[in-house]
Structure 1
Amino acid sequence: MFRAFLAVCWVLLVSLPAWALNAGLGAPPPTVDRQTPQSTVKGFLAEAHAGNYAVAAHYLDLDFLPRDKQPETGAQLARRLKFVLDRKLPVDLSTLSSEPEGDPAEARFDQIGTISLEGAEVSIRVQRVLGNGGTPVWVFSESTVKEVDRLFSAYGPVLTEVLPDFFFKRTVLGLEAWQWLGLLLVLGGGWALSLLLERLSLAFTMRLARWTKFSWDDALVDAGRGPLRLPYYAVLVALGTSVLLLPRPVQTLFARLSYSLTIVAVAWFILRFLKVSSLYVQQRVASKNPNDADRIRGLSTQLAVLRHVLEVATYVIAAALLLMQFEVVRNVGVSLLASAGLAGLVIGLAAQKSISTLLAGIQLSVTQPIRMGDKVVVEGEFGTVEEISLTYVVVRIWDNRRLVIPIAQFLDKPFQNWSRSHSEMLGEVILQVDYFADIDVLRAELKRILENEGRQLWDGKVQSVVVLNVLDKTLSVRALVSADSNNLFDLRCLVRERLVVFLRGRPGWLPTVRSETRPVTPAGEPSPSALAPAPRA
């Protein structure tokens, strides 16, 4: 009789253990929190992503399984449910109830979402049941757990039945060994495949470009070498990581990486496009107007400034697109726009100098008081305009030093531009000679110098010698010559040197100091011999 009573009690304990949920798993660890729907789903995902599938099984309703199968089958179901949720049902914990009673409208259930399977919708939800000791707890419902195998067969990893168990037993940083292996293959193989696709694409487009008569498209295709590789790589990484069933944070990371690579590639190609197009236009104009140096320099200046403006705009837009994918930066931007009253005024005042400099650069490219290659005298230095940016101008002065000048200075202060309308200039050489110097002979000597030694520097237009001033002891003579602004300095030096050599051979024409002595008669008048000029010193 006693043995029969014990047998009945054993059957009752095995079949209806209302106070022992998942009795085959044993007592849940203290870290298991199943008090609310939100804590249950959060705890399950945390343990599953950490690879603690045995602990994650405590968040499932496994009472439909025999107790001896609950540990092994429960861990397997927890792992499979993790992959299904990561791939098909991103969980938003904020939508789940954080109250022990759950959502009053859902009674004993809290719906997480639904997943399409074979034309039907499978509900994923947690259910409130009696746990150990009769305390109500929340677990994934029995109906949901029973559908895990079917969902995993449809949306689980493809190679799960092929690879050894080693690849599925442990996780490192939330990823199983097969996922790490897949990432290495995707990242390395994707880069190699992107290089191959880039070469094939460039070879095909270059073949098409060579059919045209223009060289611009050839240069443009060559400019795609590098930028074209990144979009291919971004697409391959996105496709490759999608089949690895990565956790949601890791998926988000690679999605942002692919997006960032695409933005960088587009910005990189735009910068290359601007450079190639600017160079092509300059070469095109130079080939059609080889003798119109003024127009070529003016166009080069406009293209340089316009290119700088577009490059800055490209950098700003690309940086904005990269930062906008981060929620923190986006919220900061919205907050700044919302409070843009006083802040906007302060920023505007602070950026006034930068904005005025930018506008000065644009104004300089339109009005063109200076152009690339112009000969200028600024800050007391003579040089050639070598570079014009949005904020400064680089002038290469005669000794190859570089003078960097704020661009606004060319609009606010006067300067000399020797190439503004044309490059023809007049240069003077001043000499001091004696009153007895023959000016006509000097004119002939100047003509001889220009037609012989200076024929490569002189433009053949202006040559003159005039008495510029009469001083008390000498005559100030000016020799005036004309030349291109590039040659004027050298021509003046040559004329000055040759005329000095010419005057050396005529000592009587050099500046001379004279003195007179006049003897006085007893009557106090100079003698007639004293009126004769004194000999030269």
Structure 2
Amino acid sequence: MKTPHARILPVWLLLIVSCLAVAQNEGEETRWFSVDSVNAGLGPPPEEVDRKTPRDAVRSFLALSAEENYSAAAHHLDLRDLSPEQQAERGAVIARQLAAVLQRGEWINLSTLSSRRDAMVEATSGQSPRAGQSRRNLRLATLKIDGQSYEVRAARFRAGEQDPVWLIVPETIAAIPALYKKYGPSWLEDHIPERFQGAAGILKLWEWFAIPVFLLITGSVGWLIHALMGLLASRLPAGLTSVFAQMIRLPMAFIAMALLAQWLLDYVVSFSGMVTAIFRGLLVVIMAWGVGLVAVRLVDTLLIRITRRLVGEIDDSRSRDERKLLTTLFALRRAVILMTVMVVAIYVIAQVSLFETLGVTLLASASVVTVLVGVAGQAVLGNILASFQISLTKAIRIGDLVVFEGQWSYVEAIFYTFIRLRTWDERRLVVPVKYFVSKPYENLSSKHAKLYRTIELTLHLSADVATLREKFKEFAMAEEGVIDHHKLACFVTGQHQATQEISFYLMGPEAMSAWEAEAKVREKLMAFIRDEHPEWWPRDVVVLSEHDIARGDIPAKRRLRRPATVEEVEAPPTQGGETSSG
């Protein structure tokens, strides 16, 4: 009699075998597509046909197409949507059209294709989430027609017990007529003699002559546009319009070159895939750079107009609000430039498929980005951040008068990486922003442009301060560069054994006018003392004995420090042998 365990054991074995069979079928279904047959109408594939891996399949197809052996190249296509008779009849034609599309549409980098039979995603430094997984369908290229994307894909197929092979999928085969109409031979290539169609190195023979002519034509058009824009700028009335036309000469020339080159590549001539890929990538970069530069120049022109209309000459004689407005406008210009650069960069990356050609891992890796930014862009980024810091804190404004490292200068412009200062003698100091903010500087226009100036005179103790005070007020009030007359002041600020220091204070509307008024008032005070009261100048008093005077023996250290006046020479010695010298 069988035990219950003996009766249950066969059931468990049957379940295990079924699960293993299902798992095997599921594993096979994820490794390849099962089909009844592979291109039965083409017959057995030649020996030169290699379809084991994605890289081998594409390399073999391109090599056979280069030899114009399209009958053999057709074995790389999945033609199951055609009958066996149509496969034999149209297979070579479809292979020739696909080869022309791949040659002119998008350059396929074989090194990026998997060299494994199962196309397994190998582990990299980026640790792709699909690492270790096999694939049975790969994208080789993406081509666009009137805004619609068409993918050239290869998949792994297995017919019966045959070895799996990699073929171009039927969906791509169905799109080949439309792709060939867009990316097929150009009008010029159809009229090139057959003897020039042969390969000469990496290019065809006719391409070695056509590429220099292509570059010469586009360069000539760019030079012509540059000259015409210069002529237009000279003919326009003097003003912002002519300035703007002059500023966009170069970007307009490059835009015209890019548009012409794109038109030639679309309708006149088509080169091999590698050359076309390089040209199209460069055209995208040039077009984006030209449009972005035109936008920046437009912002510059508007900034010049607003500056001339609202602010005028850049100095601290303008109100604080006007100088603040101009500083904000320059900050807006930097923001526009930054946004333009970002938009252009995103557009270029999207158009040239940079993430696909260079690899997501390289650009997404935080360590690589950190190293590049930290090492190569440290100085530039430091200046940019310092520039934004100045714009936000308004520590200095356009038109402020600053004393930087002993130089009196007006802040003329604040750019991304440097500050341009205009000195009082019309020189220009270009200072890196990071260096400027790291050094102490004096902002004479921080609150307002008005500035006190001080005149200091060292006079004899006998000088009458009241008289000097009255004269100082008279001279200062007569100067146009002196304001706030009620703040004029005169004080004795120091005293020594035989002299006193008298300080005079005046205020000017701005630093340069105050300095000029200070110099003029000083000249008048000195002239008044020299003409009216020369005895107020500092002088030394020496005591000489009658014996020294009789012998004329006056020590050198006691000699007069200035030439004696006539009165002093003729005056008799005072009682006690004292004499004075001014």
TM-score (norm 1): 0.62
Candidates 260, 273, 287, aligned match of 2:298: 273
Aligned residues between the structures:
443
Candidates 524, 531, 535, aligned match of 1:508: 535
Q: Identity percentage over the alignment? A: 22
In 2, Cα distance between the equivalents of 1:446 and 1:265? 63
Whether the 8 Å CA contact 2:452–2:505 is kept in 1: the answer is: yes
Candidates 263, 268, 272, aligned match of 2:288: 263
Whether the 8 Å CA contact 1:171–1:177 is kept in 2: the answer is: yes
Residue type of the partner of 1:34? V
Residue type of the partner of 2:51? T
| Pair 1:165 & 2:194 matched | yes
Candidates 50, 57, 63, aligned match of 1:46: 63
Counterpart residue number, 1:467: 492
Q: How does 1:62-77 map to 2 (within 5 A)?
A: none
In 2, Cα distance between the equivalents of 1:500 and 1:202? 59
Candidates 488, 491, 502, aligned match of 1:477: 502
Whether the 8 Å CA contact 2:311–2:322 is kept in 1: the answer is: yes
| Pair 1:228 & 2:241 matched | no
SS of 1:423's equivalent?
coil
Residue type of the partner of 1:254? F
Residue type of the partner of 2:463? A
Candidates 416, 419, 422, aligned match of 2:445: 419
In 1, Cα distance between the equivalents of 2:163 and 2:403? 84
SS of 1:246's equivalent?
coil
SS of 1:227's equivalent?
helix
In 2, Cα distance between the equivalents of 1:492 and 1:109? 91
Counterpart residue number, 1:34: 49
In 2, Cα distance between the equivalents of 1:108 and 1:514? 118
| Pair 1:389 & 2:389 matched | no
Inter-CA distance 164–504: structure 2 relative to 1 (3 Å threshold): same
Whether the 8 Å CA contact 2:97–2:184 is kept in 1: the answer is: no
Report the alpha carbon displacement of residue 90 of structure 1 after superposing the two structures with TM.
9.1
Residue type of the partner of 1:511? P
Whether the 8 Å CA contact 2:481–2:516 is kept in 1: the answer is: yes
Counterpart residue number, 2:32: none
SS of 2:341's equivalent?
helix
Whether the 8 Å CA contact 1:377–1:383 is kept in 2: the answer is: yes
- What are the Cα deviations for residues 498-522 of structure 1, in whole angstroms up to 9, with x where unaligned? 43344344332223445789xxxxx
Inter-CA distance 156–311: structure 2 relative to 1 (3 Å threshold): closer
Inter-CA distance 495–532: structure 2 relative to 1 (3 Å threshold): farther
Q: How does 1:174-253 map to 2 (within 5 A)?
A: 174-180=202-208, 182-192=210-220, 220=244, 223-243=247-267, 244-253=269-278
- What are the Cα deviations for residues 200-228 of structure 1, in whole angstroms up to 9, with x where unaligned? 99999999x99xxx976775566543323
Report the alpha carbon displacement of residue 263 of structure 1 after superposing the two structures with TM.
1.4
The range that moved more, 461-470 or 106-115, is 106-115
Whether the 8 Å CA contact 2:101–2:184 is kept in 1: the answer is: yes
Whether the 8 Å CA contact 1:449–1:498 is kept in 2: the answer is: yes
Counterpart residue number, 1:486: 512
SS of 2:398's equivalent?
coil
Report the alpha carbon displacement of residue 285 of structure 1 after superposing the two structures with TM.
0.6
Residue type of the partner of 2:498? K
Counterpart residue number, 1:496: 522
Inter-CA distance 102–408: structure 2 relative to 1 (3 Å threshold): farther
Structure 2: runs of 5 or more not aligned: 1-42, 76-91, 109-138, 141-151, 545-573
Residue type of the partner of 2:511? S
Counterpart residue number, 1:7: none
- What are the Cα deviations for residues 72-93 of structure 1, in whole angstroms up to 9, with x where unaligned? xxx9999777436646899966
Report the alpha carbon displacement of residue 276 of structure 1 after superposing the two structures with TM.
1.3
Whether the 8 Å CA contact 1:434–1:474 is kept in 2: the answer is: yes
SS of 1:34's equivalent?
coil
Whether the 8 Å CA contact 1:102–1:110 is kept in 2: the answer is: no
| Pair 1:376 & 2:402 matched | yes
Inter-CA distance 35–302: structure 2 relative to 1 (3 Å threshold): closer
Whether the 8 Å CA contact 2:383–2:432 is kept in 1: the answer is: no
In 2, Cα distance between the equivalents of 1:157 and 1:354? 46
Report the alpha carbon displacement of residue 535 of structure 1 after superposing the two structures with TM.
5.8
Whether the 8 Å CA contact 1:40–1:59 is kept in 2: the answer is: no
Report the alpha carbon displacement of residue 188 of structure 1 after superposing the two structures with TM.
3.7
Report the alpha carbon displacement of residue 485 of structure 1 after superposing the two structures with TM.
0.7
Whether the 8 Å CA contact 1:227–1:268 is kept in 2: the answer is: yes
Structure 1: runs of 5 or more not aligned: 1-19, 23-27, 62-74, 125-150, 518-529
SS of 1:433's equivalent?
strand
Report the alpha carbon displacement of residue 282 of structure 1 after superposing the two structures with TM.
0.6
Whether the 8 Å CA contact 1:89–1:114 is kept in 2: the answer is: no
In 2, Cα distance between the equivalents of 1:84 and 1:312? 38
In 2, Cα distance between the equivalents of 1:267 and 1:476? 63
Counterpart residue number, 1:302: 328
Inter-CA distance 487–499: structure 2 relative to 1 (3 Å threshold): same
In 1, Cα distance between the equivalents of 2:385 and 2:175? 62
Q: How does 1:512-523 map to 2 (within 5 A)?
A: 512-514=539-541
In 2, Cα distance between the equivalents of 1:199 and 1:433? 70
In 1, Cα distance between the equivalents of 2:105 and 2:386? 55
In 2, Cα distance between the equivalents of 1:182 and 1:363? 53
Residue type of the partner of 1:235? L
SS of 1:258's equivalent?
helix
SS of 1:426's equivalent?
strand
Inter-CA distance 482–205: structure 2 relative to 1 (3 Å threshold): closer
Report the alpha carbon displacement of residue 279 of structure 1 after superposing the two structures with TM.
1.0
Report the alpha carbon displacement of residue 277 of structure 1 after superposing the two structures with TM.
1.9
- What are the Cα deviations for residues 100-153 of structure 1, in whole angstroms up to 9, with x where unaligned? x7797999995554789xxxx5999xxxxxxxxxxxxxxxxxxxxxxxxxx89x
Counterpart residue number, 1:142: none
Inter-CA distance 432–314: structure 2 relative to 1 (3 Å threshold): same
TM-score (norm 2): 0.58
Inter-CA distance 446–370: structure 2 relative to 1 (3 Å threshold): same
| Pair 1:442 & 2:459 matched | no
Counterpart residue number, 1:10: none
Inter-CA distance 172–499: structure 2 relative to 1 (3 Å threshold): same
Report the alpha carbon displacement of residue 167 of structure 1 after superposing the two structures with TM.
3.0
Counterpart residue number, 2:459: 433
Residue type of the partner of 1:365? S
Residue type of the partner of 1:417? N
In 2, Cα distance between the equivalents of 1:174 and 1:115? 26
Q: How does 1:340-355 map to 2 (within 5 A)?
A: 340=366
- What are the Cα deviations for residues 381-417 of structure 1, in whole angstroms up to 9, with x where unaligned? 543334433455454556758483655865x876432
